[in-house]
Amino acid sequence: MTDNLTIALAQTRQRVGDLAGNADAMLARRAEVVAGAGAGAGAGAGAVDLILFPELQLIGYPPEDLVLKPALVARAGEVLARLAAATADGGPAMLVGTVERDGDALYNVQALLDGGRIAAVRRKHDLPNYGTFDEKRIFASGPLPDPVDFRGVRIGLPICEDIWAPAVCAHLKRQGAELLISPNGSPYEIDKDDLRSGKIAAARVAETGLPLIYLNRVGGQDEVVFDGASFVLNGDGALAHQLPDWREALVVTRWTRGAGGWRCAPGEIHALDPHPADIYHAMLVALRDYVEANRFPGVVLGLSGGIDSALSAAVAVDALGAERVRCVMMPSRFTVDDSLDDAAACARMLGCPYESIPIEPAVAAFDGMLAGAFAGRGRDLTEENIQSRIRGVTLMAISNKFGPMVLTTGNKSEMSVGYATIYGDMAGGYSVLKDAYKTTVFALSRWRNANRPALGLGPDGPVMPERVITKPPTAELRADQKDSDSLPPYDILDPILHGLVEEELSVAEVAARGFDRETVARIERLLYLAEYKRRQAPPGVKLGKRNFGRDRRYPITNAFRTA
């Protein structure tokens, strides 16, 4: 039995499906702590006993239906055996997240690798099946897990959702656990930091009296992004370590067994992003990792002189660097001089390539081509949408010719009510604003003009003219057009949408908050009618609790209304 433990926390990224690459990265992290390179190791710090990795780190998270492939499960077993063999050198044991098949059942597991073998395996008990998560569809629930014996210490391994209710940790306490280690794959959501540490983890520590290590990953995976922000709580609830958000980190923690049980020595407490810096970093990291993982040389976007495209361009430059962001102004007869000036100024302030490709020749060609078919009909929304679709074709042509991914620029307010053109401004590969309401776009733009994000590659100082933020929003698809011609002001629209989408309230419940009932009913109707568009929208980073995509899955054909 030992009275001292040294445990390394590897807050790291992943690549779903890259078993060999993920394994090599874990072995490299292990080699770092062996060499004394882990943050906090220090000179003469002594050997590390155990290194921890996040949930399902070997195969990546969320794996979705990829784990239903027998070949992946078989290969995961082979690679896990290679990792286990590496621990025969007498160095640190490894706690690795992977999958395990038992007959027809597939489990989400943590494997303890020590002394050249798989020393123990524990299966996840509570499987989340809400919002982003659908683990019950692919995994079987394991039994209430017993602690593992590690060098004379009884360690409980509640996996992610296992700490969100009391049962698993209470069982581990009854079975003699002395320390809780919770590997996680917990995606970013607004205000989730306080929920994780201040409520969920703190509650489990208070109930059991046991210290808890909470280890999360960082990096983007399609529509979700992981913010890290791992931490260690001692048995009295005191915060011993707080790892940074958004960055990889390798931290060595030191534990001593005393009369009151195991206690972690104090370490560095990193400040986490305040609002809205956290949202901006979520967009930045998600876009960077999506572009890099899918091997795009960069992005191209339409820079209109409006706030949505200006913010999208700023995020792209901060994520990828100015040289990898190509901005294209595509003016029509309705584009005013202010928009031309503002778009050029944005590109200049960001330092990224910029060009203007007027769409009027293509508009004239379509007018002539459709003149016979449209004879006797006046100009309407059809001609407005043709302009948007010409712009989409232009950007896709540049993408096909030179390789950059088209970055779309629509926000959640527009996507909610269908104020977007399918096959036009919705056409592209990714959207950083997909889950950001228009009022959030304004807040982020003001923040970025006053702050440079810690992880940003873009310039210091303002990245868009103040007029971009203050002028009335417009699509400029007809003369003197304003968003407010068709929609309520955004400071009214967005709270209505938040009630209908994020909170799933009825028209009556939203109207009771002081909004006009007819307006709320009209917004609900537009919300449902636009479902078919959203199904064909590109992926975009999840920011809130109910993003359009993984979280909110409504039928396209839907006759239900609450008003």
Q: Is 226 helix (H, G, I), strand (E, B) or coil?
A: strand
Under 8 Å between Cβ of 331 and 343 = no
> Dihedral sign, CA of 482, 485, 489, 493?
negative
Confidence band, pLDDT 50/70/90 cuts, at residue 513: very high
Tokens representing 513 are 């908050």
pLDDT digit string (tens) for 298-327? 999 999 999 999 999 999 999 999 999 999
CB 173 within 8 A of CB 235: no
Q: How far apart are CA 4 and CA 19, in angstroms?
A: 33
Is residue 37 pLDDT above 60, yes or no? no
Half-sphere exposure of 433 (CA within 13 A, CB side): 33
Give 131's pLDDT tier (boundaries 50, 70, 90): confident
Whether 179 contacts 185, CB under 8 Å = no
Which candidate, 549, 210, 212, 234, places its Cα nearest to that of 412? 549
Other beta carbons within 10 angstroms of residue 39's beta carbon come to 16
Confidence of residue 563 (pLDDT cuts 50, 70, 90): confident
- Percent of the chain's residues with pLDDT above 90: 86
Q: What is the per-residue pLDDT for 389?
A: 95
What pLDDT does residue 476 have? 62
Cβ proximity of 252 and 8 under 8 Å:
yes
- pLDDT tens readout for residues 285-306: 999 999 999 999 999 999 999 9
CB 48 within 8 A of CB 92: yes
- Whether residue 44 has pLDDT greater than 50: no
Out of 32, 100, 160, 434, the active site residue is 160
- DSSP letter at 534? H
What pLDDT score does 134 carry?
84
Helix, coil or strand: residue 452: coil
Query: Is pLDDT at 272 greater than 80 in this prediction?
Result: yes
185 vs 483, residue with greater confidence: 185
Residue 40 has pLDDT above 90, yes or no: no
1 falls in which pLDDT band (50, 70, 90)?
low
Task: Output the six-digit token pair for 136.
Answer: 């019950």
The answer for residues whose C-beta is within 8 angstroms of residue 290's C-beta and 6 or more apart is 220, 222, 430, 539
What stretch of H or E contains 467? helix 466-470
The residue written with tokens 């910029």 in the block is 354
Q: How confident is the model at residue 478 (pLDDT cuts 50, 70, 90)?
A: low
Query: Once rounded to an integer, what is the mean pLDDT over residues 253-279?
Result: 95
How does pLDDT run across 187-244, given as a tens digit for each residue? 999 988 777 877 999 999 999 999 999 999 999 999 999 999 999 999 999 999 999 9
Q: Which residue out of 32, 55, 135, 384 is catalytically annotated?
A: 55
Residue 43 scores a pLDDT above 60: no
70-79 contact pairs (CB < 8 A, 24+): 72/17, 72/19, 73/99, 73/101, 73/106, 75/19, 76/19, 79/19, 79/20, 79/23
d(CA 41, CA 229): 19
Residue pLDDT, tens place only, 50-60: 999 999 999 99
11, 51 in Cβ contact below 8 A? no
Look at residue 256 and give its three-state secondary structure: strand
pLDDT single digits (tens) 367-380: 999 999 999 999 99
Catalytic option among 124, 412, 434, 533: 124
Summarize pLDDT for 145-178 with one digit per residue, the tens. 999 999 999 999 999 999 999 999 999 999 999 9
What is the pLDDT at residue 46?
Answer: 59
Residue 342 pLDDT exceeds 70: yes
- Residue 355 is a catalytic residue: no
Residues 238/34, Cβ–Cβ less than 8 Å: no
pLDDT digits (tens, 9 = 90+) for 61-103: 999 999 999 999 999 999 999 999 999 999 999 999 999 999 9
Specify whether 466 is catalytic: no
Q: Tell whether the model's pLDDT for residue 38 goes beyond 60.
A: no
Q: Is the pLDDT of residue 453 over 70?
A: yes
What is the C-alpha separation between 525 and 528, in angstroms, rounded?
A: 5
End-to-end CA distance of the chain: 67
- The pLDDT of 254-278, averaged and rounded, is 95
Amino acid at 543: L
3-class DSSP assignment, residue 241: strand
Mean of the per-residue pLDDT values for the chain?
Answer: 93
pLDDT tens, residue by residue, 132-145: 788 989 999 999 99
- CA–CA distance, 436 with 10 (Å, rounded to integer): 31
The DSSP-derived string for 90-155 is: SS-EEEEEEEEEETTEEEEEEEEEETTEEEEEEE--SPP-STT--HHHH-PPPPPPPPEEETTEEE
- Strand ranges (E), 377-445: 405-408, 430-431
Look up 509 and say whether it is catalytic.
Answer: no
Asked if the model's pLDDT at residue 180 lies above 70, the reply is: yes
Question: In the structure encoding, which two tokens stand for residue 275, read together?
Answer: 């609002």
State yes or no: pLDDT of 473 exceeds 90.
no
> CA 431: distance to chain centroid?
12
